[in-house]
Structure 1
Amino acid sequence: MTSINRHKIRLNQAIKTTILVAGFMSLISQPAWSTSEENMLFHFTDVSHFTKWNINNDTVMGGVSQSQVSIDGQQNLLLFTGSVSLENNGGFASTESILTSQITTASLLTLVVKGDGKTYQIRLKTPSLSNGEAYVANFTTRVDTITQHAFTAADFTVSFRGRSVANAPELHFEDIDRIGFLVAQKQQGPFAIELHSIQFDR
């Protein structure tokens, strides 16, 4: 084999390697959520999906409930933990974040969590709501068990500080810009829920 032929073989192998690496890099650089027409999957720990998670407890009304959020990068989950107290007319803890990508047309929301047996509330917000209002739906977790909870838009009602709001705008999932979670209903004591993912399907 001449040196020219050996050079051509090495060049072809280098080109193939470059193509394979480029293809792999293009895959891992894609957003984690699906961009298909059928669904969009968001991970609560992904900073490209959600902004910083903020805490809003009953302390704004004089209560003493406590909560915090933390990220478990190895298991790709968001931990929402704390303790609810009924002292000083309190009794709730919540967290909320802004969704960084617009949702396509969807008719089903599927939430994946691992809980502690308590009932939680998922809270959705859109620009059409007044300040403090939210579309809310409750779901009950199972102790140390990953569960899926599916909702349609009809499963949500509009609430403001725990009270139902009449004549509120109809919920459309594609209008959602904020997502939050709340624990209340006089469930005093420690709580812990792992937030894994949320998916919107047609």
Structure 2
Amino acid sequence: MIDFTQYGEHKQWRATNDNVMGGISQGQLTFDGSHSLFQGGLSLANNGGFSSVSRSILPLSSDKIGIELVYIGDGRTYQLRLSTQSNSDSVTYKHEFSTSKGQTQTKEFHLDDFQAVFRGRLLSGAPDLSAQNIKKMGFLIADKQAGNFSLKLIQIRFKSEASLK
């Protein structure tokens, strides 16, 4: 479990914004005293338009087949991202999710439903995603809408088949 209500959790996350390719978007994970916030501003200038945060995770047991995320959104669409490599230049598996502004939401993600991507492009023929191979997880916003964003994160739980709805 990752508990975003605990001070210090936000310090384990690293931001990567579109400035790596010339953009000027900004985003980071901060702590507001009760939750971690993935927040910032997206700019479409200079072919930019994405912001992300990620962290390494401990190995998961092979019986984990899904993830439960509890969050409060801003009405925008985000991606939950999982990687089987520690470096940033590798295949990532993504799952988009929408948010309702100001509402606490719980979303379950089945690992089988994640799509393999590399630098934003869908890949075919990538290996299936399995829990024991996940080394890193993160969030990304790239919804082609300039402006501020804020995703309040509450909790992530890794779920087995018996506990997944």
> Which band: TM-score by shorter chain?
0.7 to 0.9
Task: Please report how far the alpha carbon of residue 122 of structure 1 lies from its aligned counterpart in structure 2 after TM superposition.
Answer: 0.5
- Mapped partners of 2:30, 2:17: distance in 1: 16
**1:23 maps to which residue?**
none
1:127 counterpart = 2:85: yes
**1:60 maps to which residue?**
20
Question: Larger RCO: Structure 1 or Structure 2 (Cα < 8 Å, ≥ 6 residues apart)?
Answer: 2
Say if 1:195 and 1:115 are closer, same or farther in 2 by CA, change over 3 A: same
Say if 1:127 and 1:93 are closer, same or farther in 2 by CA, change over 3 A: closer
Report the TM-score when normalising by structure 1: 0.72
Amino acid at match of 2:59: Q
Is the helix fraction higher in 1 or 2? 1
Task: Please report how far the alpha carbon of residue 165 of structure 1 lies from its aligned counterpart in structure 2 after TM superposition.
Answer: 1.4
Say if 1:165 and 1:61 are closer, same or farther in 2 by CA, change over 3 A: same
Runs (4 or more) in structure 1 with deviation over 6 Å come to: 47-51
- Calculate percent identity across the aligned residue pairs: 40
Q: Which of 171, 182, 185 does residue 140 from structure 2 map onto?
A: 182
1:103 counterpart = 2:60: yes
- 2:64 alignment partner, SS class: coil
Gaps of 5+ in 2: 161-165
- Mapped partners of 1:169, 1:49: distance in 2: 30
Task: Give matches, 1:1-202, under 5 Å.
Answer: 41-44=1-4, 52-73=12-33, 75=34, 77-99=35-57, 101-104=58-61, 105-127=63-85, 131-202=89-160
- Mapped partners of 1:89, 1:156: distance in 2: 26
Gaps of 5+ in 1: 1-40
Is the strand fraction higher in 1 or 2? 2
Task: Please report how far the alpha carbon of residue 129 of structure 1 lies from its aligned counterpart in structure 2 after TM superposition.
Answer: 9.0
Tell which structure's C-alpha radius of gyration is larger: 1
- Mapped partners of 1:64, 1:128: distance in 2: 25
RMSD of aligned Cα (Å): 2.2
Report the TM-score when normalising by structure 2: 0.87
Amino acid at match of 2:135: D
Residues matched between the structures, number: 159
- Mapped partners of 2:49, 2:37: distance in 1: 20
Task: Please report how far the alpha carbon of residue 130 of structure 1 lies from its aligned counterpart in structure 2 after TM superposition.
Answer: 8.4
Task: Please report how far the alpha carbon of residue 167 of structure 1 lies from its aligned counterpart in structure 2 after TM superposition.
Answer: 1.4
Q: CA-to-partner distance for each residue in 1:143-184, whole Å, 9 max, x for gaps?
A: 011101111112101111110112111101232121110001
- Mapped partners of 1:175, 1:51: distance in 2: 24
Matched-pair contact (CA < 8 Å) for 1:51–1:97: no
